[in-house]
Amino acid sequence: MNRKLLCPSLMCADLTELRKEVADLSAAGCDIFHCDIMDGSFVPNMALGLADVKAVRKLTDRPVDVHLMMDSPAEKVDWFLDAGADIIYIHPEAERFPGKVLRHIREAGAFAGIAVSPDVSLEQVTELIPVCDYIMVMTVYPGFAGQKFVESTKTKIRRLAEMKAEYGFQLMIDGGCSYEVIREMSEAGVDGFVLGTSALFGKEKPYETIIEEIRAL
d(CA 53, CA 36): 9
Q: Which residue is nearest to Zn ion (CB)?
A: 67
> 39, 133, 174, 191: which one is catalytic?
174
d(CA 160, CA 150): 16
14 is an active site residue: no
By CB under 6 A, name the binding residues for ligand DX5.
Answer: 9, 11-12, 34, 36, 67, 140, 142, 145-147, 174-177, 194, 196-198
67 belongs to the binding site for Zn ion (CB under 5 A): yes
* 21 versus 36: smaller Cβ distance to Zn ion: 36
DSSP string, 86-131: SEEEE-GGG-SSHHHHHHHHHHTTSEEEEEE-TT--HHHHGGGGGG
d(CA 133, CA 9): 19
Minimum CB separation of residue 69 from ligand DX5 in Å reads 7
Minimum CB separation of residue 161 from Zn ion in Å reads 20
**Of the candidate residues 21, 31, 36, 133, the single one contacting Zn ion (CB under 5 A):** 36
191 is an active site residue: no
DSSP 48: B
Which one of Zn ion, ligand DX5, none is in contact with 45 (Cβ closer than 5 to 8 A by kind)? Answer: none
**Of the candidate residues 31, 52, 174, 191, the single one contacting Zn ion (CB under 5 A):** 174
Any idea how long the chain is?
217
Nearest 5°: CA angle at 31, between 122 and 113?
Answer: 25
The candidate with the shortest Cα–Cα distance to 68, out of 100, 112, 99, is: 112
Which one of ligand DX5, Zn ion, none is in contact with 145 (Cβ closer than 5 to 8 A by kind)? Answer: ligand DX5
> b/e string for 64-87 if b means 16 or more Cβ within 10 A?
bbbbbbbeebeebbebbbebebbb
- Phi first, then psi: give them for residue 62, nearest 5 degrees: -70, 160
133 belongs to the binding site for Zn ion (CB under 5 A): no
Minimum CB separation of residue 153 from ligand DX5 in Å reads 12
* 47 versus 128: smaller Cβ distance to ligand DX5: 47
Q: Which residues bind Zn ion (CB under 5 A)?
A: 36, 67, 174
Hey, which residues are catalytic here? 36, 174
